[in-house]
Structure 1
Amino acid sequence: MNRFVYTVLIILSLPFALLRILLRDAKNSNWIRKLKNQLGFVPKIPGKVIWLHCVSVGEFNAAKPLIDMIFINFPLHQIVISTTTITGSEAVEKYYKSQVIHCFFPFDVPFIVSSFLKKIKPVACILLETEIWPNLITKLKHKNIPVMLVNARLSKKSYKKYKKFSPKLINMTLNNLSLICSQNESSSKRLISLGANNNIITTGSLKFDSNEPNNSETIQALKNITGDRKIVVFASTRKGEEFQIIKSYLKLKSKFNALLIIVPRHPERFNEVFSMANETGLNVKRRSLGGHCEQDTDILIGDSMGEMMSYLNISDIAFIGGSLTNNGGQNMLEAASLSKPIIFGPSVFNFEEISKRLLDDGSAIQVRNAEELMKTISELLLDDEKRRLIGESAKTTFENNRGATTKIFNAIAPHIKNI
């Protein structure tokens, strides 16, 4: 596939993308601004702009230490942060308020990208993780604007797709990047195999440097409504997982008196997950409705935004979602940073290096299915010492792998200073 064919396919997909925005985001007051931004309509931004793109909340949270370092070292520059999701935009605006300008990421169509760049006029562009957009990167290259991919990762699954469907396009795009900072050697080797030249270095993952502040008020509020029972948090669950978890829980419910907190990954699924859990006859509460849990409450649905670290903080065991279904897992390091024993399923291709380190260090347990998950939870709940040892090991693994922020900043700074 060449860039022309890619562009035609992107244009043909636009009606479906617009329909998705209408169906998924229309209830949010930001949806019109999102639509305008994605079509290239953004206000003109004065000054020297450093533009960072983070897809959603997870990428933004990981990037915070790097963004803070850029703030300190480039105080005369205007920071613009783009996201793809509305939840990402809300996280940016809540954390930085008026310190940064937020906009939504444009569709990767040449005339839309041109309009977008004409308005924000960045002096440097920093893309997070797997944001490889051929038209945007090519436009920036033609304008001699440094474009850097940091905290880059490439799973085996994504590598095979690129290799099969668009080897020439990805080769050209990677070579148009000024710099690639990769999370691990495996990703570096795959990116080099796809065509990245000497513009790639391995720096480690920003996620190890991400220290989300603990909200003591929220933590205390959760403790007040959950009581003194053991708590198992199912973090960032995906469609299909909750059913498996609840079905397996019903079989073992009599063996442990623990409260299950299920936190779906996507807010639009909160109602769906609550209804499904409620239909089983279990005693289910919702955090958004107060969620006061009695001794016979089985499940609390964590249908609130920005409280994941607080849920994990009060937990005795943390299961990482997206790993029982074929979604590649979610961030495991938030739980590790809090010294929590971690469990995840077989699908962790998006976090293969991190999951391997945790397993090798005895900092996590991997299960094959929901039945094995519940059996493992049951055993851990009866063994306080084992939970403590796994949790302490997870914290040690987390601390031993910090430092990526400084490495990445030292790599990107010359590209900004030379402008």
Structure 2
Amino acid sequence: MAAYPWLARRYREGFDERRGLYGDLSFLSGRRPLWVHAVSVGEVQSALPLLRRARRAVGDTPLLLSTVTPTGRRMGLRLLDGVVDGQVYYPWDVPWIVNRALDALDPLLYAAVETEIWPGLLTALKRRSIPAFLVNGRLSEGSFRRMSHWPSFWRKAYGLFEAVFVRADDDMERFLRLGVAPDRLHLVGDFKIDALLDRHDRADLSDLRRELAGEGPLFIAGSTHEGEEEVVVEAFRLLRQTVPRARLVVVPRHPERARAVRALCGKDFSSFLMSQRGAGWDILVVDQVGVLFDLYGLASGAFVGGSLVARGGQNLLEPACWALPVAHGPHMEDFAVAARDLARFGVARTVIDPVQLARFWRDCLDGNLAEEASAGSKGYFAVRGGAASRAWTQMEPYLSQNRR
């Protein structure tokens, strides 16, 4: 490692494992694992429902999770304690490293999450007759355009999977345009929806509800970006003219901006940072990470940021899974499918200025809108949920076929 200082800096954590050198593999106890690879935090979250489903089905077969980033590994430790039997860093896609890793791990089955395509490993798995799957497969328009310059390479790479379980209609259409064989593609839905529902079912809001107790209705502005908080605060000012006991929680996308956001609240409101909150607050600005999802569970209505400014939008599904009416701005390019579908189900609405946002929040207190959003949320998740189970149903037979 000393001979390659740039490698030492970037891959200091897990350096041996990245070269296929594993220390303690006693959790395998001589058994062949089911190996799921999730590069970082988002992919680990996507893998969660599949791993939970597999855990119920495989008995004492070990479940192995690999990641590339340290943050992904830490997320795995936090979310998957008691679900996976062990974690390793993913081996570099170099033939002698790949072979050393496979000699040590010898998986029954391999599943990569979303976009993780490493031809060296996939080729070695195929050579060893170990079935490989791509789960929650996605292909953005930008990636499709880049891949279209070398279509034969990518068709061959995707052909190394037994099956590609695709997230959405748009992804399926791009895979087909790239030339991936239709019989390898299966449209099952988005694993992240299952992950959100699982997280919702396991959430305990009792402490947070007690900490934020108050008389008026609570509204959340989540994942806001610079240029949006002024709109949010003005909308709240308008809302208070007719709902004087309303309260607002603002959650900046980047917590380090919290003090600057609080300064925008002015002297008309009693405002605090969440870490320093006092009694009788009107506006609370969150300066912590990891609390937004649960906060949605306490609210009467939400606004999701990154959408009034051209940032592509943030995750609408988090408030929607709490059956919450959700507003967003016109810039939802990164979540276009969710925005379109949630609007059809009566859960989400587009706003463009403080007046429209204030009116939306006021309407959230009307029983009709609340009931429409609740019914729409249940309908949406009933249709869109279950992706992990649908994929697992097709993967499970390969486990028994591949035991030796």
TM-score, normalized by length of structure 1?
0.78
**Cα distance change of structure 1 residues 251 and 382 upon mapping to structure 2, 3 Å threshold:** closer
Q: Report the equivalent of 1:29.
A: none
Q: Report the equivalent of 1:146.
A: 131
Q: Report the equivalent of 2:296.
A: 312
Gaps of 5+ in 1: 1-13, 23-31
What is the CA–CA distance in structure 1 between the aligned matches of 2:258 and 2:94, rounded to whole Å? 39
Instruction: Answer yes or no: is 1:225 the counterpart of 2:205.
Output: no
Deviations along 1:269-316, whole A, 9 cap, x unmatched? Answer: 43x2224324546565444x3x535444423215133x3431110122
- Name which of 362, 370, 375 aligns with 1:392: 375
Instruction: Answer yes or no: is 1:405 the counterpart of 2:385.
Output: no
**Cα distance change of structure 1 residues 332 and 63 upon mapping to structure 2, 3 Å threshold:** farther
Q: Report the equivalent of 2:243.
A: none
What SS does the aligned partner of 2:199 have? coil
What is the CA–CA distance in structure 1 between the aligned matches of 2:36 and 2:383, rounded to whole Å? 27
- The count of corresponding residues between Structure 1 and Structure 2 is 380
**Cα distance change of structure 1 residues 113 and 232 upon mapping to structure 2, 3 Å threshold:** farther
What is the CA–CA distance in structure 2 between the aligned matches of 1:274 and 1:397, rounded to whole Å? 33
What is the CA–CA distance in structure 1 between the aligned matches of 2:131 and 2:302, rounded to whole Å? 40
**Cα distance change of structure 1 residues 112 and 88 upon mapping to structure 2, 3 Å threshold:** same
**Cα distance change of structure 1 residues 200 and 215 upon mapping to structure 2, 3 Å threshold:** closer
What is the CA–CA distance in structure 2 between the aligned matches of 1:387 and 1:365, rounded to whole Å? 13
- Give, as a single letter, the amino acid of the residue that structure 1 aligns with 2:249: I
Deviations along 1:229-266, whole A, 9 cap, x unmatched? Answer: 4333344x3xxx5212213234444213454434455x
What SS does the aligned partner of 1:365 have? strand
Whether the 8 Å CA contact 2:189–2:386 is kept in 1: the answer is yes
Q: Report the equivalent of 1:356.
A: 340
Q: Report the equivalent of 2:198.
A: 211
1:114-193 matches, cutoff 5 A: 114-164=99-149, 166-193=150-177
- Give, as a single letter, the amino acid of the residue that structure 2 aligns with 1:65: P
Whether the 8 Å CA contact 1:126–1:149 is kept in 2: the answer is yes
What SS does the aligned partner of 1:244 have? coil
Whether the 8 Å CA contact 2:306–2:331 is kept in 1: the answer is yes
What is the CA–CA distance in structure 2 between the aligned matches of 1:311 and 1:87, rounded to whole Å? 23
What is the CA–CA distance in structure 1 between the aligned matches of 2:7 and 2:250, rounded to whole Å? 29
Instruction: Answer yes or no: is 1:243 the counterpart of 2:223.
Output: no
What is the CA–CA distance in structure 2 between the aligned matches of 1:75 and 1:406, rounded to whole Å? 17
Whether the 8 Å CA contact 2:236–2:248 is kept in 1: the answer is no
Moved more, 166-175 or 325-334: 325-334
Whether the 8 Å CA contact 2:324–2:373 is kept in 1: the answer is yes
1:378 Cα deviation after fit: 0.8
What is the CA–CA distance in structure 2 between the aligned matches of 1:18 and 1:320, rounded to whole Å? 40
What is the CA–CA distance in structure 2 between the aligned matches of 1:146 and 1:373, rounded to whole Å? 52
Instruction: Report the structure number with the largest CA radius of gyration.
Output: 2
Q: Percent identity between the aligned chains?
A: 23
Q: Report the equivalent of 2:13.
A: 33
1:180 Cα deviation after fit: 0.5
1:277-292 matches, cutoff 5 A: 277-280=261-264, 282=266, 285-287=272-274, 289=275, 291-292=276-277
What is the CA–CA distance in structure 2 between the aligned matches of 1:224 and 1:411, rounded to whole Å? 45
- Give, as a single letter, the amino acid of the residue that structure 1 aligns with 2:361: L
- Name which of 202, 205, 211 aligns with 2:187: 202
What is the CA–CA distance in structure 1 between the aligned matches of 2:283 and 2:161, rounded to whole Å? 51
- Give, as a single letter, the amino acid of the residue that structure 2 aligns with 1:94: R
**Cα distance change of structure 1 residues 244 and 226 upon mapping to structure 2, 3 Å threshold:** farther
What SS does the aligned partner of 1:130 have? coil
Whether the 8 Å CA contact 2:307–2:329 is kept in 1: the answer is yes
What SS does the aligned partner of 2:228 have? helix
Whether the 8 Å CA contact 1:322–1:347 is kept in 2: the answer is yes
Gaps of 5+ in 2: 241-245
Name the Cα RMSD after superposition. 3.2
Deviations along 1:327-355, whole A, 9 cap, x unmatched? Answer: 54444333222101123344444444333
- Name which of 67, 76, 98 aligns with 1:83: 67
What is the CA–CA distance in structure 1 between the aligned matches of 2:296 and 2:185, rounded to whole Å? 35
Whether the 8 Å CA contact 1:336–1:398 is kept in 2: the answer is no
Q: Report the equivalent of 1:9.
A: none
Q: Report the equivalent of 2:57.
A: 73
What is the CA–CA distance in structure 1 between the aligned matches of 2:287 and 2:146, rounded to whole Å? 35
1:148 Cα deviation after fit: 0.5
TM-score, normalized by length of structure 2?
0.80
1:322 Cα deviation after fit: 4.6
